[in-house]
Chain A
């Protein structure tokens, strides 16, 4: 299916209007925006509907947008049986970043959501094991947020070091 048909099908299934967007010069990938409260439902329908069958979650990522005061969750989906792909997005606020987990739809999401929790500080409701995955448990802050300041030291270990003598910088 083409992107526009996929969007139309999702609108039918969710019985609400959805927004389709693409980059300013129509290059790259377009995406379908899903309201936050319908996120899990939309994902489940995208996986189960006979015409969509997005059984493969390629990646689940987060993008911080301080200008719009929200964090985007981006799901790249692919269907092995129909050989088509789609990008779904939803937005959570930066102050209270909570979304429903999609672990029950794709088990692969469990680690992706842990990664988003770790690096962007988004909380996922009904996640079975939400804890940091890449950084240590006591690491301060979430590095992929745009306003993140790297601490000068971690447990007494400096995070930067002076340039070696004779080097250019």
Chain B
């Protein structure tokens, strides 16, 4: 697996393959790690193992028929990718979405956000050697999957959004179940914090490690929690509101020096971890407001059976669990998309790894990958 490539002066550079199958890469991706002892000179990501041609496939589907494919862009964020595509096409069609559908979209997305963060936070802890939190959080995610299954029949690939609204309505009993889950889940966040967040060993593995300054984060196109951990206060839900976010109250956590642990600095792995913990709490807050304010009415706008958006193009972005998920659609007036392009957060997160890996310990690479939250299928599409 390893070979000594070149010797520079008296020190030798050892080139190691990390992956394509490695416990910390969660999916198939490879890093070519150039090391000098325990220190990395650079780690070069090699992606594409999970390329499924999702953009090419769109050119052979009807506009509505592409929706199930969007689930597959990122298996942890199906609601968001659904929504990004739906919003892009709606923009082209200039559709007005009924308010109830807007609220249901927000609810579905926030449930999805909690589920995705459960996996991310659990995996960060697991990759750094603490297995228990992963199992605890996976249990919570199961409950969310049950709720979403009741909502749309699917646990992972939701296919819930439609161009013009959502596929299924909810009833009182489902709202009660969501409410009950929130009462149960908020103490779980507190438990998670006492179990692991303030844990000195875990904090020391992440605090001050893999620091990304705000200028780098913006230049390399980091988005979402990764960007906010670097101190850029931006959230699409608050700053460019879509769906029903305009009327909802929530705060946006941003990284700050010495947060929870005195050694933590803006932009390090620990801040990326903490931002996500706080986001789960905010998601609960949003869900409660949605349950209280859910309007009645239609869940679908009037949409023709055979969609033919006018010639033109649109880009729509939503704030996914990993940040901005963008969908760029081009129409030539025909029954199929002319071109669909996905702007995925993992792609830009992955591209910065080579830049920040210089001088890190090999073991820290695991912390960097885990906290940047790169999802291999989303990178490769």
Q: Which residues of A contact B (CB under 8 A)?
A: 22-25, 27-29, 31, 55-59, 61, 63-64, 74, 76, 80, 83, 87, 106-108, 110-111, 119, 132-136, 143-144
Q: Which of B315-373 contact A (CB under 8 A)?
A: 315, 317, 324, 326, 328, 330-331, 333, 338-339, 341, 343, 347-348, 350-352, 355
Contacts of B310 on A, CB cut-off 8 Å?
Answer: 23-25, 27
A63 CA to B93 CA, complexed, in Å: 20
Structural contact, A106 and B326, CB atoms closer than 8 A: no
Which listed residue (A29, A106, A135) contacts B221, Cβ 8 A?
Answer: A106
Structural contact, A27 and B218, CB atoms closer than 8 A: no
Structural contact, B51 and A134, CB atoms closer than 8 A: yes
Contacts of B234 on A, CB cut-off 8 Å?
Answer: 80
How far apart are B333's CB and chain A's nearest CB, in angstroms? 7
A61 CA to B330 CA, complexed, in Å: 11
Closest chain A residue, CB of each to CB of B52: A134
Q: Which of B68-97 contact A (CB under 8 A)?
A: 91-94
Which listed residue (A23, A111, A132) contacts B312, Cβ 8 A?
Answer: A23
Which listed residue (A22, A63, A135) contacts B51, Cβ 8 A?
Answer: A135
Structural contact, B219 and A23, CB atoms closer than 8 A: no
Which listed residue (A56, A63, A110) contacts B351, Cβ 8 A?
Answer: A110
Q: Which of B210-256 contact A (CB under 8 A)?
A: 218-221, 232, 234, 239-240
Contacts of B309 on A, CB cut-off 8 Å?
Answer: 27
A120 CA to B331 CA, complexed, in Å: 18
How far apart are B51's CB and chain A's nearest CB, in angstroms? 4
Closest chain A residue, CB of each to CB of B339: A63
A115 CA to B52 CA, complexed, in Å: 14
How far apart are B226's CB and chain A's nearest CB, in angstroms? 13
Structural contact, B219 and A55, CB atoms closer than 8 A: yes
Structural contact, A76 and B326, CB atoms closer than 8 A: yes
Can you list 15 A-B pairs, Cβ within 8 angstroms, ordered by A? Answer: A22-B312, A25-B312, A29-B313, A31-B313, A55-B219, A58-B221, A58-B315, A59-B328, A61-B328, A63-B338, A80-B232, A83-B239, A119-B55, A133-B47, A134-B51
> B307 an interface residue at 8 Å Cβ cutoff?
no
Contact flag A76-B328 (CB < 8 Å), given A58-B343, A108-B219, A108-B351: yes
Contacts of B56 on A, CB cut-off 8 Å?
Answer: 143-144
> B48 an interface residue at 8 Å Cβ cutoff?
yes
A87 CA to B310 CA, complexed, in Å: 19
Sample of 10 more A-B contacts, CB < 8 Å, known A23-B92, A107-B351:
A23-B313, A27-B314, A28-B92, A56-B221, A58-B221, A58-B326, A59-B343, A87-B315, A106-B221, A107-B352
A74 CA to B339 CA, complexed, in Å: 12
Which listed residue (A23, A24, A107, A136) contacts B355, Cβ 8 A?
Answer: A107
How far apart are A123's CB and chain B's nearest CB, in angstroms? 19
How far apart are A68's CB and chain B's nearest CB, in angstroms? 12
> B53 an interface residue at 8 Å Cβ cutoff?
yes
Structural contact, B51 and A28, CB atoms closer than 8 A: no
Contacts of A106 on B, CB cut-off 8 Å?
Answer: 219, 221
Contacts of A110 on B, CB cut-off 8 Å?
Answer: 351
User: Which of the listed residues A76, A110, A133, A144 has the most CB atoms from chain B within 10 Å of its own CB?
Assistant: A133
How far apart are B381's CB and chain A's nearest CB, in angstroms? 8
Structural contact, A143 and B53, CB atoms closer than 8 A: yes
> B311 an interface residue at 8 Å Cβ cutoff?
yes
A74 CA to B328 CA, complexed, in Å: 10
> B380 an interface residue at 8 Å Cβ cutoff?
yes
How far apart are A6's CB and chain B's nearest CB, in angstroms? 15
A59 CA to B328 CA, complexed, in Å: 9
Contact flag A134-B351 (CB < 8 Å), given A28-B91, A58-B326, A76-B326: no
